[in-house]
Amino acid sequence: MSDLPIHPFTHVQAIGFTSRGPVWPVMGGSGDGDEDGAGAESGAQSGQGASHGGSDKGFPADTPVAQMTDAQQAAYWKHYSREHEGKAKAFTTLGVTPEQIQQLQERNAELEKAQLNASELALKEATDKAAADARAATEADWKPKLLASQLKSAASQVLSGDQLTEWLDSVDPGKFVGDNGEIDESKVMGKLTAIFGQKKEQQQQQPFWGQHSTGHQSADKPGTAGRAAAAKRFGSKT
C-alpha cells in the first residue's frame, strides 16, 4: 500500500511530492490525461531523485539531511525509524535488550584492558627474571673469591707459610659457610684445632727420662750413668 497522503476533501490520493508538498491529480481530466499527467509527474520526480543521487528509499544516499527536501527528509527518518524498530525486534528475538548489549560491550573492553595488564605483568616478570639471572651470574663470579679470602684470614691464625697454602688448596670453602652465606670462623678454627692443634702440643712436649728427670737429656757420654750407680752402691775404688 502506498504511503502517499489522501486529500481530505476529494479523498483522492496524491501522486507524488515536491518541495511545496503533495502533488494532487487534476479533477475532471481524462483518464489518459491523468495517466499521462501522473506518468509525467512521476517521471519528473524520478528524474529529480536520480539527479540528486536518490534511491528507492525515497531519499538520496550520501547526502546530508540538511540538504534534502522536506519529502526526502521525511522518507529518511521514516526509513531509519523502521530500521531501528527492526533492530529492537532482533534484540527481542535474541532475548537481550540494547542496554544489555551495551553492558556486554563495556565488559569486553574491561577484558581487553585486563589482558593488557596481564601482558604488562608478564613483561615485569620477565624483567625481574633477567635481573635475578644477572645477579646470580655476578655472584657466581665474586662469591668464591670472597669465601677464599675469608677462609685464608681465619686459617692464618693457626697456620702460616707453605702449610697454610697447602691446607687452603686441599679444602672446600663451601664446607665452612655459615647461615649468613659467609665463612664461619668457628668452623674453621674447630677444624684446624682438631688437625694441627694436637701436633703442636706433641711437638712442644719434652721426652720423659725417668722419675727424677728434669726434662732435659743428659749430655754425659754413654755408660756414665751406670758407672755412677755402681760407685754409689759399692763405693769408689781409689
Tens-digit pLDDT profile for residues 138-167? 888 888 888 888 899 889 888 889 989 999
| Per-residue confidence (pLDDT) for residue 183, from 0 to 100 | 92
pLDDT at 185 over 60: yes
What confidence tier does 200 reach under pLDDT thresholds 50, 70, 90?
very low
pLDDT computed for residue 226 by the predictor: 54
The predicted structure's pLDDT at residue 8: 66
Work out the pLDDT band at 2, boundaries 50, 70, 90: low
Say which residue, 96 or 195, is predicted with more confidence.
Answer: 195
Q: Categorize the per-residue pLDDT at 32 as very low, low, confident or very high, splitting at 50, 70 and 90.
A: low
- Does 95 score more than 90 pLDDT? no
Query: Are the C-beta atoms of 59 and 76 separated by less than 8 Å?
Result: yes
Q: Write down the pTM of the prediction.
A: 0.33
Express each pLDDT in 204-232 by its tens digit. Answer: 555 555 555 454 454 455 555 555 655 55
Quote the mean pLDDT of the chain.
Answer: 71
CA proximity to 15, closest of 41, 33, 36, 47? 41
Domain edges within the chain: 1-51
